[in-house]
Structure 1
Amino acid sequence: MNPTNPMIVQSDKTILLEVDHPQHAEARDALAQFAELEKSPEHIHTYRLSPLSLWNAAAGGMTAEQVMDLLTQYSKYAIPMNIAVDIREYMNRYGRIKLIREGDALLLTSNDVALMAEVYHHKRTQPYILRQLNSHTIQVDASRRGHIKQALIHIGFPAEDLAGYTDGSPLPVKLRDMTLQGDEFAPRAYQYAAAAAFYAGGAPSGGSGVVVLPCGAGKTIVGLAAMADIQRATLILSPNTIAVRQWINEILDKTDIPPEMVGEYTGDRKDICPITVST
């Protein structure tokens, strides 16, 4: 707490950040880990601590204490007491339910018997439940994995997904040191870090998620780095044909994948290849 710091934390879970403050950039980077940007006018940006942003932080390995430490580090004034309570409450909910796989069965598990009873009887989760195996375990429809995860978010207990994914077809992918245009190339440290967070070393906890970066920060490069980590056939979805062709150009320019291994699947062409880019 220091009146010369760049931000104010309010009891309604909003955070005001001074754009022209010398510490703006580092405070912004700290907030990006656990808060959502709501408004960005010229001088004051408004962030919000939401359940989803805090759960995402917990999924990324942050603790409630780390979030509080960062808020305290950059706040002008004392953090309202309800903020600390809410942060701990929300972040402690993440992972109380785990999604695992046993053979072909997809299971929800928890040590909290009362919570599992609530999940079993809740109207949002009922459509995806196959049966309750015991007081700690519920079998759910494996084909509705995303739906059950969304339902659990709606009832306030996001699952830690440890079910993993089925391996795709192997495909060697290597990033170039020199692009086809003759420029030196290497992903930046934060791009490598984003790809590594997504891949998680191939652990069951990896392989899914959303990479959030500003415009121009090189999300395509993060995608290429993830492809190089995973070494598997890849389907890339883009909003339009122009973006599809930009992706293809980047793949050919910055990886060692030959052109015949990259396909365009749009209204103009219907090529399916080990790497297919589609709308």
Structure 2
Amino acid sequence: MTDTGDSDDATSERPGVDGPDGTDADGPDADLFYDALESLGRPVLTATRYAQLRECTHEEAVAELDALVDSETAERLDVANDPVVWYPVDWARMTDRERVILFPDRREIVVDQPEQFTRAQLSQFAHLVETTGSGAYKYEIRQEDIWQAPYETLDDLLGTVRSVLPERSDPLESWIRSQYERANKFRLRTHEDGYTVLEAQTADLMGNVARQKLDDDQLRAPISETESWVAEESIAAVKRILYEAGYPVRDERDLERGEPLPVELELELRSYQKQWVSNFLETASGVLVGPPGSGKTVAALGILSEIEGETLILVPGRELASQWRDELLARTDLDPEQIGEYHGGQKEIRPVTIATYRTAGMDRHRQLFDSREWGLIVYDEVHHISAPVYRRSADLQTRHRLGLSSSPVREDDNESDIFTLIGPPIGTDWDGLFEAGYVAEPEVEIRFVPWGDREARNQYVSSEGHERRQLAATNPAKLSEIEALLGAHPDEQALVFVEYLDQGRAYADALGVPFISGEMPHARREQYFEQFRNGTLSTLIVSRVGDEGIDLPSAALAIVASGLGGSRRQGTQRAGRTMRPTGRAQMYVLATQGTREEEFARRRMRHLAEKGVRVTETTVESGGFEERVDDSADDAAEEPGPEE
């Protein structure tokens, strides 16, 4: 049972319980009985053991247990070695209750049947490793999880840890303390003469860590035993190398603000958005990691209005550039002449400039961006920053760096680059936003679909590698399942995501709805998106072009038909299309039974589970082709490679 407070008297925190006898006007408190069973780790107990666990007399324990028998919660049984034992009538409650088990030596936590609160709290300081269909979650506490934990003090972090674990662990807390302190060993600052200095907490750290790990091109010269002169062009590399060595660097440089740009925000921020803005202003850099629909763009505009400096906004594509321009004009007092776009369609440098990552990283355009002193650079869909072409934008001079992403994870294990190049995560408490009703928590269901016919399955069996994965993704039975799901939600607008163009075209023809892909002209895409927003289109088939950067706020239903070999981030973004301020949000993920799609589906939804979203599984009624195919030989061929 998870401990949710520091009080020694558990009953004092339970609503409706009068005192230590564990009873109220409605009778005995069954939860105390189940707590005792879980603490003991056995399904039966004696009155003597119960009295010890409850810290009451033997007579009081017998009275409580007999009252539970009277209420038909417990049964009593006379046995030879001890006069009486008690056990629960409803054995199922013992299997459905949350259990948190800590393995301190491995820094692992296993949770069975976790509550949403527990999953959300664990996401603040632990990494979800795997889940099972039976409701077990395995977490690992890594050093980077402690470095990036969104807490201002160690006590706040430990308070969350203690709220989740069943009991305190001194070895674990000692390790957490050491890692929290480790994150403050190095800092970058600006020397009074204008150059950048790397400062270590001790001379030993500077000599045996920094000067051993960094070369002469990165550290130009020593200044003192604890200080070194850093080459300006190597600042990002210095931060990344020390991070990989186990020492995240605090960036406290005094950077240029650029020309002043007064901006008024013409809407009221929500309370949590105000907190995001405040947290960012304290650190001067960071990544907003809120769920889709939580208003990260609006919070970014709030940050822009507080900084009041010339701003560069970097986006992955032209659709997002247009959306940012519309948001700036609708929600601030900026004039159209103050906002420029710089990409393949337009090339304007203005006080607020919206550019694509690719354009900003190209040599022939680089000088235009380098020559301006930006007060703020916003990196939208910040997970792109780790790509070689895009990461060059991280070297642009700016006083403040702000990343935006609902899921800053990458399959190439380079997500640490995001936090070293941009800043620490801000706003990771998804559960609080779900509970407050600001964002609709999606109901995510993985549906395992059987093969539609023997011919399709036999073709799959005789194939291998990428062809096998494609055949599972395009299982003909998925179309029938999509039609059934759309029929079950006749009043909801729906997005159906596909991986393959032929599949998208076939679904569009069968359902009589448009298919949006990268091949479609930009203007026509925007026309369909606008029809979807205003409700004149109820369903769209969408390829990967819809995974990010498309504003579809009214989508209440998402169906992922294929693309499970994609990234965890892709799964989060697709679920995000259903996250809205009000109403019901539903996401279905279709995976072909007996194929590697089953495991891909679980893995791709793992990031959502880590954020406190409950993911369920359902097996669709079989059409007679239930036997599993051995896919082990194709694991390597089917495993998706690093993202570009």
TM-score of the alignment, normalized to the shorter chain, above 0.5: yes
Give the equivalent residue in structure 2 for 1:276: 353
CA distance in 1, matches of 2:342, 2:113: 43
Give the equivalent residue in structure 1 for 2:324: 247
2:144 pairs with 1:55:
no
Give the equivalent residue in structure 1 for 2:107: 13
Compare CA radii of gyration and give the structure with the larger one. 2
What SS does the aligned partner of 2:144 have?
A: helix
Identity across the alignment (%): 27
Deviations 1:202-229 (A, max 9, x none): xxxx321211111221111111111011
Number of paired residues?
260
CA distance in 2, matches of 1:17, 1:174: 47
What SS does the aligned partner of 1:276 have?
A: strand
CA distance in 2, matches of 1:267, 1:190: 36
CA distance in 2, matches of 1:189, 1:28: 23
Give the equivalent residue in structure 2 for 1:101: 190
CA distance in 1, matches of 2:136, 2:234: 42
Give the equivalent residue in structure 1 for 2:226: 136
**Residue type at the aligned position of 1:54:** I
**Residue type at the aligned position of 1:232:** G
Give the equivalent residue in structure 2 for 1:236: 313
Structure 1 residue corresponding to 2:271, chosen from 189, 199, 224: 189
Q: Is the 8 A contact 1:98 1:159 kept in 2?
A: yes
Structure 2 residue corresponding to 1:87, chosen from 134, 156, 176: 176
CA distance in 1, matches of 2:292, 2:139: 18
**Residue type at the aligned position of 1:247:** W
2:126 pairs with 1:35:
yes
**What's the offset of the Cα at 1:47?**
4.4
Alignment of 1:126-205 (within 5 A): 126-177=216-267, 186-200=268-282
What SS does the aligned partner of 1:122 have?
A: helix
Q: Is the 8 A contact 1:6 1:74 kept in 2?
A: no
2:208 pairs with 1:118:
yes
What SS does the aligned partner of 2:262 have?
A: coil
Q: Is the 8 A contact 2:102 2:108 kept in 1?
A: yes
CA distance in 2, matches of 1:81, 1:123: 32
Deviations 1:7-47 (A, max 9, x none): 544433344566762xx24x455444433455577755554
TM-score normalised over the length of structure 1: 0.82
Q: For residues 123 and 253 of structure 1, do their structure 2 counterparts lie closer, same or farther at Cα, with a shift above 3 Å needed?
A: same
Deviations 1:69-116 (A, max 9, x none): 2122122x3355542232122111111222111122211223411111
Q: Is the 8 A contact 1:10 1:79 kept in 2?
A: no
What SS does the aligned partner of 1:175 have?
A: coil
Q: Is the 8 A contact 1:125 1:151 kept in 2?
A: no
Q: Is the 8 A contact 2:198 2:227 kept in 1?
A: yes
Q: Is the 8 A contact 2:263 2:332 kept in 1?
A: yes
Q: Is the 8 A contact 1:99 1:161 kept in 2?
A: yes
Root-mean-square deviation (Å): 2.6
Provide structure 2 residue ranges, at least 5 long, that are not aligned to the other structure.
4-37, 39-96, 357-644
TM-score normalised over the length of structure 2: 0.38
CA distance in 1, matches of 2:260, 2:232: 24
Deviations 1:96-139 (A, max 9, x none): 22211112221122341111111343234554111112212111
**Residue type at the aligned position of 2:235:** R
CA distance in 1, matches of 2:138, 2:247: 26
